[in-house]
Amino acid sequence: MTLKPATEPAENATNQATSTVYGPVRSWRVGNSLGVDLLFTTSICSFQCVYCQLGKILDHTAERKVYVSTEKVMEDLRASAWQEADIITLSGNGEPTLALNLPEVIRELKAATGKPVMVLTNATTLWDPQVRAELAEADQVFCKLDASNDATLQRVNRPVAGVTIRSIVEGIKALRAEYPGYLAVQMMFMPMNRSDLAEMAEILNEIRPDEVQLNTPRRPVPREWFMESRGNHEGVPYPAVQLKTVDRDEALDIEAQIRELTGLKVVSIYRKDETKA
Ligand code: SF4
């Protein structure tokens, strides 16, 4: 049975995108990525990260439901330039695992395109065995982890009530144990969480992902929700703030330390600049 959305997309004069599918946009990690937005109606997430490119999270929630129908996603896909994509990425206007039709969409996208599908998640729902089973449909899962303790989690990611660093880490570990695909952990470093590095390396040693991806918030953060930020946008039509980042030397130092402390494969946004990948 096809799941139906509980609500219709909100009217918003400044966010007039009509498609749940966008791009392809160039991603430094995966090449040409076609974005699919299962939230779409507004910005919906169980986090409210200080660096979030969507600007404001208007629905700060951990509720799972159907936000946009699978039929609409597939219709939007057919109208897109999906043939130009290397991979299809489920991310969009918030946390994709909050969408109850996630597994149905993954299956239909793969059947229609033959392309690999990747899910970008903040890992707050991975404590739930049902979500982990649904993610098994994806070829790659990238999990966000920006903190090693609850104080940093509250400062950087500002989760909904009940989410703790242990619930996140145990969820990622459980996914690691069950998931047959490629699992990466993404870390956003900034002065705010720089001192967590050694403890984050310990957590990485608990998880043992296939890859660690290091980033720093280089794009300005809009003060309002901006739907088109779900793509790879440089400019935003709102006042925006630039957060403090780690500079190249610090990023290379973080990369070297994580590699030394974990022995894991580590990739960095700063290396991408060097290779022009
Ligand atoms: S998890 Fe992603 S969508 Fe959610 S607030 Fe953080 S950056 Fe924004």
**Probe residue for ligand 1, chosen from 40, 52, 89 as the CB with the greatest number of ligand atoms within 8 Å:** 52
The protein residue with its alpha carbon nearest to ligand 1, atom 3, reads 94
Q: Is the pLDDT of residue 218 over 50?
A: yes
Q: Mutation test of ligand 1: which of 38, 39, 46, 54 has the most ligand atoms closer than 8 Å to its C-beta?
A: 54
Mutate to test the pocket of ligand 1, among 37, 38, 45, 59 (most ligand atoms within 8 A of CB): 45
Cα–Cα distances (Å) from 91 to 11, 77, 94, 144, 275, in that order, read 21, 15, 7, 12, 26
Instruction: Tell me, yes or no, if the pTM score tops 0.75.
Output: yes
**Termini Cα distance of the chain:** 42
Average pLDDT over residues 185-212: 96
Q: How many whole angstroms from 1 Cα to the centroid of ligand 1?
A: 30
Q: 37 near 91, Cβ under 8 Å?
A: yes
Ligand 1 proximity of 122 Cβ (cutoff 6 Å)? yes
Q: Mind spelling out the 3-state secondary structure of 82-138?
A: HHHCCEEEECCCECHHHECCHHHHHHHHHHHHCCCEEEEECCCCCCCHHHHHHHCCC
Residue 132, both tokens? 């982990």
DSSP characters for 147-175? -SSHHHHHHHT-PPTT--HHHHHHHHHHH
Sign of the CA dihedral with 88 first, then 252, 275, and 201 last: negative
Tokens of 225: 């929700």
CA of 127 to the centre of ligand 1 (A): 18
Contact between residue 77 and residue 23 where contact means Cβ atoms under 8 Å apart: no
Q: What's the mean pLDDT in 17-31?
A: 89
Q: 27: which strand partners?
A: 31
Is the model's pLDDT at 80 over the cut of 50? yes
pLDDT at 72 over 80: yes
Q: Is 54 in the pocket of ligand 1 (CB under 6 A)?
A: yes
- Answer yes or no: are the C-beta atoms of 229 and 236 closer than 8 Å: yes
The residue with tokens 């695992």 is 97
Cβ(95) to ligand 1 under 6 A?
yes
For the chain, how long is the longest CA-to-CA vector? 53
**pLDDT per position as a tens digit, 122-166:** 999 999 999 999 999 999 999 999 999 999 999 999 999 999 999
pLDDT at 12: 44
Average pLDDT of the chain, as a whole number: 89
Q: Check pocket membership of 49 for ligand 1, CB cut-off 6 A.
A: yes
Pair 37, 105: CB distance under 8 Å: no
